[in-house]
Structure 1
Amino acid sequence: MAFRIHLLVIYITLFLLSVYHINAFKLEKNLGLKVPSLGFSWENCGPASDPIQIKTLVVAPDPIHVPGNLSLSLVVAIGAALPTDIHVSVTMEKKVGGFYVKVPCIDNFGSCTYGNLCEAWADACPKYFEQFRIPCKCPIPADTYTIPGAVIKIGGHLPSVGAGDYRLTGDLGSSGTHLGCLRLQITLKD
């Protein structure tokens, strides 16, 4: 249960916040530094007209350890005030034998739809993000929000078959309006 709550908090954070981004390509090109290729990647998967657009996102360590601490840096542009009835539909896929297989929604974990994100955000935000002057209550005003490095403690334990490579896609919406989409590729280790 604790792991599911932390995963949801991380996912909400990725959509609603921000940070300074270290771009591996720029480091290699401008500074001549060779940066190892890591398993974590992300992309906005909705149209450019979505009001939520992630500009930069960095997580460490890679792979993510459960339990453990996750360092999160993020910059997100919110183009219009976000309403109070936000929900997210998450599609979780696990890499099995070179293919991604959809993880079903079981006990609120997996490919699930989560409603009332504003309530969950109001509970989690003060602990992790208020120090960065991030609004912790909906509606969230339009602005560009930056988080230069928050540390989130991930509790709980992975099930015996939980470690591995995952692809997560989250579609945010509100009363029939599409707000944003984020696709993550992560590796979880126990």
Structure 2
Amino acid sequence: MHLIFITVLLALSNANAFVNKQKELRVTAFSWQNCGPSSDPVQIKSLTASPDPVLVPGNLTLTLTVNVASTIPVDTHAALTMERKVGGFFVKIPCVDNFGSCTYGDLCKDWASACPKYFEKYGIPCSCPIPPKTYTISDAVIDIKGHLPSVGDGEYRITADLGSSAAHLGCIKLQVTLKSD
């Protein structure tokens, strides 16, 4: 659960590297779904984001409930696939400077550094292994800094696929539409 969320946070925070102080982006559409089999041990039960629309830069408030049915191990990794709709088709965005369709090999290390800032106050473990439990994060506020360039307008699909050396853990697919002001 945490690791899916940290994967999404990594994508958002790495987007801050593309700075253009003359445009703001609005998230005008947002949806999500679990994309792995129902037997995956990590299943998101609910996810909401506000305000609607979300402004970049600005504050993003998330509420999330995730069921973790078995221990999330130390060797957890994530494959993040980002796609942009171009001419009616989704085209994969390559991994450049840790932004785009990237693989994050040591997700537990990234989680350990981001978790205390955002999630420790919710009683969520900030180190792996993460024990089985249903975890809820209510109204977590994340400050998205920087600006994204106007070329960021469009419809995006982001898929975070989690696994370890022992098993597939979970998958979430986000659909986001960005529009510049």
Pairwise TM-score range, normalised by the shorter structure: 0.7 to 0.9
The equivalent position to 2:160 in structure 1, one of 155, 159, 170, is 170
How far apart, CA to CA, are the structure 1 residues paired with 2:161 and 2:33?
12
Alignment of 1:6-155 (within 5 A): 9=6, 11=8, 39-155=29-145
- Give the CA deviation at 1:12: 5.8
The root-mean-square deviation of aligned C-alpha atoms, in Å, is 1.9
How far apart, CA to CA, are the structure 2 residues paired with 1:179 and 1:143?
14
1:184 aligned partner: 174
The structure showing larger relative contact order (alpha-carbon pairs under 8 Å, at least 6 residues apart) is 2
- Shift of the 84–120 alpha-carbon distance from structure 1 to 2, 3 Å rule, reads same
Unaligned runs of 5+ in 1: 1-7, 14-37
- Shift of the 148–170 alpha-carbon distance from structure 1 to 2, 3 Å rule, reads same
Q: What TM-score do you get using the length of structure 1 for normalisation?
A: 0.77
How far apart, CA to CA, are the structure 1 residues paired with 2:105 and 2:170?
15
Paired residues of 1:73 and 1:147 also in contact (CA < 8 A): yes
Between Structure 1 and Structure 2, the one with more strand by share is 2
Of residues 48-57 and 93-102 in structure 1, the stretch that sits farther from structure 2 once superposed is 93-102
Q: What TM-score do you get using the length of structure 2 for normalisation?
A: 0.81
Describe the superposition over 1:1-30 as per-residue Cα deviations: whole angstroms up to 9, x where unpaired: xxxxxxx846169xxxxxxxxxxxxxxxxx
Unaligned runs of 5+ in 2: 11-27
Paired residues of 1:40 and 1:62 also in contact (CA < 8 A): no
Count of residues in correspondence between the two structures? 159
Instruction: Give the 3-state SS of the residue equivalent to 1:40 in structure 2.
Output: strand
Identity %: 63
